[in-house]
Amino acid sequence: MKIYFCVRREQIYSLVALDIDGTMIGQDRIVSNELKVALNRIQSLGATVSIATGRTLAPSLRVSHESGTNGPVICFQGAMTFDQKSNRPIRHETLGRHQTEVAVSLMSKVVPELMMFLDNDVWVEKRSDWTDGYSQRMGIEIRDSESLLAMSDRRPTAIVGVGDPSIVEPMVADLSDKLDGIALVTHSLPMFCEVEALGAGKDKALEHLASCMKIDSEHVIAVGDGKGDESMIKWAGLGVAVKNGHPDAVSAAQHTIDEPEKFGLVNFLNELADQGHFSADGHKYGVCRDV
């Protein structure tokens, strides 16, 4: 299948950032063999491929290993960038006490599920079928806390509230107003409200990674489908969105692709490879040691 989009013939891309859910994988949560082959192909041509996801570290690394991506993993909506070669973070933005207190206090009054992401664990005040299911799906451990508010000084990576979209959306707006200028409030899925440090965001994480690799934004591709992908889609030299994704992500994109079930990402990457648009161009990652 041929895809037609406007890229200058001489344009070279050295870094590719990919969202996971709804972009790399569909409802079956399986990385297709076709995608594995396409990723291996563009990496053999010299490109570095990094996952950029809202997922926590452990499930992000699992998908990276399964798909064979070779670059650092951007997770927690850009709050952490983890270098797979050195097995350590190269960037980690955490929430301070005040931001955590505001987020926990407000969300605990509105949503039935509230999670604090701290190190590799998820802390909750009360377990439910949903949190147990989330733990199983993501392969992470749920820990019990008598009070998340009392843990506000632990510098968590993220606070996530989960509830019916009809109550989450107005809560996101309210929390965004209260945390304006001191924390990042994201809304990657209709039922999620995520709060991270102001330095988080997939665009900032991707910009930092590209800087480490000495790659200009024009040599970067970012592909996603959610509201949380909008910023990196705008920042990248070639921003790509899944057609049925969030309207803001689609509006920000220069090009759209089909969903994973129709091999949209696979076809897109192969078409660019056929046209000779991938090369390392002498860039290497791993030089940052900010953490």
Higher pLDDT pick, 5 / 286: 5
Q: What percentage of the chain reaches a pLDDT higher than 90?
A: 79
Residues contacting residue 109 through CB under 8 Å, at least 6 positions apart: none
Residue range 160-184, pLDDT digits in tens: 999 999 999 999 999 999 999 899 9
49 alpha-carbon distance from chain centroid: 13
Please name the residue ranges forming H helices in 179-229. Answer: 202-212
Residues composing the chain: 291
SS3 state of residue 159: strand
Which pLDDT belongs to residue 6? 60
For 49, 113, 161, 162, 189, the CA distances from 109, given in Å and listed in that order, are 40, 10, 10, 12, 20
pLDDT digits 0-9 by tens, 199-229:
999 999 999 999 999 999 999 999 999 988 9
Q: How crowded is residue 3: how many other Cβ atoms within 10 Å of its Cβ?
A: 15
**What pLDDT, in 10s, does the model give residues 45-68?**
999 999 999 888 999 999 999 999
Q: Does the domain spanning 97-197 belong to CATH 3.10.180.10?
A: no
CA distance 148 to 159: 10
What is residue 234's predicted lDDT score, i.e. its pLDDT?
Answer: 97
pLDDT interval class at 138 (50, 70, 90)? confident
Q: Comparing C-alpha atoms, which of 93, 101, 106 is closest to residue 197?
A: 93
Per-residue pLDDT of 23-46, as tens digits, reads: 999 999 999 999 999 999 999 999
The answer to whether 173 touches 201, Cβ cutoff 8 Å, is no
**Average pLDDT over every residue of 4-22:** 84
Phi, psi of 171 (to 5 degrees): -65, -40
For residue 285, pLDDT beyond 60:
no
Give the pLDDT score at 281.
66
Instruction: In the chain, count H helices and then E strands.
Output: 9, 14
Q: Which residue has the tokens 């990496």?
A: 43
For domain 15-92+201-274, give the CATH number.
3.40.50.1000
Checking if the pLDDT of 145 tops 50, the result is yes
265 vs 258: CA distance, rounded Å: 7
Taking the domains of the chain in order of start, what are their residue ranges?
15-92+201-274, 97-197
**What tokens were used for 198?**
């102001």
Q: 228-256 pLDDT, tens per residue?
A: 899 999 999 999 999 999 999 999 999 99
Cα(116)–Cα(113) distance, integer angstroms: 10
Query: What pTM was estimated for this model as a whole?
Result: 0.89
- Are 74 and 80 spatial neighbours (Cβ–Cβ below 8 Å)? yes
Taking each helix axis as running N to C, give the angle between helix 33-44 and helix 264-274, from 0 to 180 degrees, rounded to the nearest 10: 30
Quick: pLDDT tens for 100-123: 999 999 999 999 999 999 977 899
